[in-house]
Amino acid sequence: MQAKRNLEAPVGTTSRAGSLTSTAIERLKQSTALYTFQGVIIAAIILLPFLTDSNYLITMATFMGMYAMLAIGLNLVLGNAGQISLGQGAFFGIGAYTYAILTKDHFPFWFAYLASPILAAIAGFVVGYIALRLRGHYFAMATLAFALIMHRLFHVLPITGASLGLYDIPLPAFLATTKGTMADPLRFYYFVWLIAALVAVFTANVVRHRVGRALSALREDEVAAAMLGINVAKYKIEVFVISAIYSSIAGSLFAGYSGLISSSAFHLDRSMDILLMVVIGGLGSVFGSILGAILWTILPEIFRMFESLQGLEPYRLVTFGIMIILIVILWPGGAAGALRGLAEKWDRSRSGANASGVKGSNDTA
Amino acid sequence: MSGLTIGPAEVIQFTIGGLTNGAIYALVALGLHIIFKATRVLNFVQGEQVVIGGLLALTVSTTLHAPIFLAFVAAMIIGGAIGYAFERIAIRPAYRLGELATIMVTIGGFVVFKNGHQLIWGKESIPFPDFAFDFPFSLATPAFQGFAEAFLKATGAGFNPFAIWVILLSILGVVAVHLFFQKTLFGKAMRAVADNTKASELMGIDSTQVTAVAFAMSAALAAAAGILGGPLLNAGGSYGIEIAVKGFSGAIVGGFGSSLGSVAGGFIVGIIEALSGGLISSSYKDAISFGIMLLVLLVRPSGIFGEKEVRRS
């Protein structure tokens, strides 16, 4: 029963208006240990270039930032609106191709960075409008079909370079190395994480305010929410469009950073990866999405690093699938949920009986 | 379409091809429908069960030198057992966590099954023998030859004897499933659970057993689709997810809530796909068949033949 609550009502949501205030207080009192941990992650992201001069690590961490945007977007749809989207990879592709096509055609960069999310938002609205009005989980299949269509189109359309893809994709001067058109690793790293931070802050606000409250209401009980005058479909579509925008921003950054793109980068596997990040990180948590993106990027590296684990490499993907199943069933809060639990335990052991009162009210809610 | 004229003969030819593909989609759609009815969730593993069915049949027939029809039966039984085990091990614990969790588990299962069979059988697809000439499927009889020639003379379109088996056997499978639901006690129990789980449990029906059998049945149907589709799709590789979406498109177009609607939808998607591939461009045929599904979702969410089962929120 506890597990069910965790999955359906993540962080700080409750179905009763009466206990809402106590939840708000709880959030203010959010574990100092957890804050410390979040602070460490943020500091690590900011200081990473000073800690290492390995280009490989910086590149990896740059991709982490893009994945974080993708994961935050999907988590909004999955964790907050309770809908599975398998189409995030397609929006990622729309963003990447829009940026690549426009910049290669010598449109100004700001225009390309603006057009990508706008196009993705339109696509997201159309798909969301068709599939999100339906009850049940048709949405997952509809977004899957959308992902397959887009992948096929990227692969055959002349404008996307068909199976060859597009290359020599330009970058704005402030992100490129001084002499060439290559991305400057450091500048790009900070640029990506700056955008990721903006996305995270914006999302945290969306979740905390009107849209987030409406969403948690409708996730608890769609009928009751609809009776209260919440336009269920509208909010779901809104959130889906936001996630499409995030994915396309990540896509346009990806296209500029790698300089070449082809349809294989936007295959269904991409959407599956993002789903896995969200599940590992923790449903309904912005911090969890970032954590998921980081863990997902590091995990294969760990496999590679330890000699004894290398034999397991072929089983990595199967293991990922088993992890999805296990986490969903046994550990619905993901890494963020586990950390929260640990942090609360730690806080309690430090401050003794003081904090246990607050914790108690949470258990009964 | 340079140089190629499209006449009635070509259209008939494409339609036969479409019916053949459609028969396979119909089996997938029916399997998805059965699980949807029993659990209210979409089963993302379905497509990989199709692939595994084909691979199992191939392995049984090549390593044991078993006749293809025995391999057919064996693959359906093993496939069904895998589906049953998957329900027991992974779906059952998730079921009480809600629909969202259950679908997530089937997506996790998709990742496991896909990479699992690629680990065992490899990533490349393996040629699958055309079984239309093997006992008991051989159609090399004078009567059939005569029929095929007469058909060619009348319409200008030829057909592969294998296509006849695919269409006939899948229709047979659909009829068998239909009779099972209508006539047998267990089939009726399954329908009762789908209609109202609580009430049927009060009547003494073991609903968990029903769910497990639903997964086994749809996995066996998927295996059948993998074998029948073998000569077309080959065995193994990564076609699983596409065929799952094709089957789902069929179910949506026909009506997910109704079994015969799902089957009819599978055939419709097959025909639309073949015609658009032949008459427009094969590059866009997948996009068109998925687009049709989105269109039906937009205009008639309950499907062409469906009752108003799907509600708008």
Asked if B287 and A152 come within 8 Å (Cβ–Cβ), the reply is yes
Interface check for B299 against chain A (CB to CB < 8 A): the answer is: no
Asked if B252 and A131 come within 8 Å (Cβ–Cβ), the reply is no
Residue A305 has pLDDT above 50, yes or no: yes
| Percentage, residues of chain B above pLDDT 90 | 26
Binding-face residues of B in 16-45 toward A, CB within 8 A: 40-42, 44
Q: Report the pLDDT value the prediction gives residue A211, as an integer from 0 to 100.
A: 74
Binding-face residues of A in 61-100 toward B, CB within 8 A: 82, 84, 86
How many contacts does A have with B, using Cβ atoms within 8 A? 144
Mean pLDDT along residues B204-211: 85
Asked if B97 and A4 come within 8 Å (Cβ–Cβ), the reply is yes
Cis amide bond preceding A10, omega within 30: no
Tally of domains within chain B:
1
Which of A272-286, A297-311, B258-272 has the weakest average pLDDT? A297-311
Binding-face residues of A in 189-228 toward B, CB within 8 A: 222, 226
Of B245, B255, B246, whose CA–CA distance to B302 is shortest? B255
Residue B297 lies in a domain: no
pLDDT band for B138, please (50, 70, 90 cuts).
low
Mean pLDDT along residues A133-146: 78
**Which residues constitute the domain of residue B175?**
25-238
pLDDT band for A130, please (50, 70, 90 cuts).
confident
Residue B122 has pLDDT above 60, yes or no: yes
Mean pLDDT along residues A67-74: 94
Q: Tell me how long chain A is.
A: 365
Closest residue on chain A to B105 (Cα): A325
Distance, in Å, from the CA atom of B223 to the CA atom of B75, rounded to the nearest integer, reads 6
Select the more confidently predicted residue: B158 or B54.
B54
Closest residue on chain B to A219 (Cα): B100
Residue B261 lies in a domain: no
Domains located in chain A, CATH noted? 2-364 (1.10.3470)
pLDDT tens per residue, range A313-330: 678 788 888 988 998 888
Q: Quick one: CA dihedral B65, B22, A83, B88, positive or negative?
A: negative
Residue A307 has pLDDT above 70, yes or no: no
Asked if B297 and A138 come within 8 Å (Cβ–Cβ), the reply is yes
Select the more confidently predicted residue: A351 or A227.
A227
Closest residue on chain B to A220 (Cα): B98
Residue B202 lies in a domain: yes
Select the more confidently predicted residue: A103 or B140.
A103
Task: Give the one of B44, B287, B294 whose C-beta lies nearest to A142's C-beta.
Answer: B294
Residue B180 lies in a domain: yes
Residue B121 lies in a domain: yes
Interface check for A303 against chain B (CB to CB < 8 A): the answer is: no
Interface check for B311 against chain A (CB to CB < 8 A): the answer is: yes
Mean pLDDT of chain A, nearest integer? 80
pLDDT tens per residue, range B273-290: 998 888 887 778 878 888
Distance, in Å, from the CA atom of B159 to the CA atom of B149, rounded to the nearest integer, reads 10
Asked if B108 and A323 come within 8 Å (Cβ–Cβ), the reply is yes
Select the more confidently predicted residue: A306 or B25.
B25
Residue B259 lies in a domain: no
Residue B10 lies in a domain: no
Centre a 10 Å sphere on the Cβ of residue A353 and count the other Cβ atoms it contains.
7
Q: Report the pLDDT value the prediction gives residue B1, as an integer from 0 to 100.
A: 43
Task: Give the one of A149, A268, A323 whose C-beta lies nearest to B290's C-beta.
Answer: A149
Å between B111 CA and nearest CA of chain A: 5
Q: Which of A149, A153, A227 to mutate to test the interface with B (most CBs of B within 10 A)?
A: A149
pLDDT tens per residue, range A7-36: 444 444 433 333 344 444 455 456 677 778
How far is C-alpha A203 from the chain's CA centre?
A: 10
Residue B213 lies in a domain: yes
Select the more confidently predicted residue: A135 or B34.
B34
Interface check for B301 against chain A (CB to CB < 8 A): the answer is: yes
pLDDT tens per residue, range A239-261: 999 999 999 999 999 998 888 88
ipTM at complex level: 0.83
Retrieve residue B308's tokens.
């108003």
Mean pLDDT along residues B178-198: 86
Å between A228 CA and nearest CA of chain B: 14
Sort out which chain A residues have CB atoms less than 8 A from B97's CB and list them.
3-4, 7, 328-329, 332
Mean pLDDT of chain B, nearest integer? 84
pLDDT tens per residue, range A195-245: 999 999 998 888 887 777 777 777 777 777 777 777 777 888 989 999 999
Asked if B290 and A145 come within 8 Å (Cβ–Cβ), the reply is yes
Interface check for B6 against chain A (CB to CB < 8 A): the answer is: no
Half-sphere exposure of B15 (CA within 13 A, CB side): 10
Task: Give the one of A134, A152, A323 whose C-beta lies nearest to B286's C-beta.
Answer: A152
DSSP class of residue B204 equals T
Interface check for A322 against chain B (CB to CB < 8 A): the answer is: yes
Q: Report the pLDDT value the prediction gives residue A21, as an integer from 0 to 100.
A: 43
Q: Report the pLDDT value the prediction gives residue A364, as an integer from 0 to 100.
A: 36
Q: Report the pLDDT value the prediction gives residue A56, as an integer from 0 to 100.
A: 85
Asked if A272 and B107 come within 8 Å (Cβ–Cβ), the reply is yes
Asked if A146 and B294 come within 8 Å (Cβ–Cβ), the reply is yes
Residues B28, B266 contacting (CB under 8 angstroms): yes
Which of A359-363, B62-66, B95-99 has the weakest average pLDDT? A359-363
Residues A289, A71 contacting (CB under 8 angstroms): yes
pLDDT band for B190, please (50, 70, 90 cuts).
confident
Closest residue on chain B to A3 (Cα): B97
Distance, in Å, from the CA atom of A338 to the CA atom of A340, rounded to the nearest integer, reads 5
Q: Which of A2, A77, A83, A144 to mutate to test the interface with B (most CBs of B within 10 A)?
A: A144
Residues A280, A327 contacting (CB under 8 angstroms): yes
Mean pLDDT along residues B18-36: 92
> Which helix (H) or strand (E) is B138 found in, with range?
none
Asked if A84 and B283 come within 8 Å (Cβ–Cβ), the reply is no
Q: Report the pLDDT value the prediction gives residue A166, as an integer from 0 to 100.
A: 87
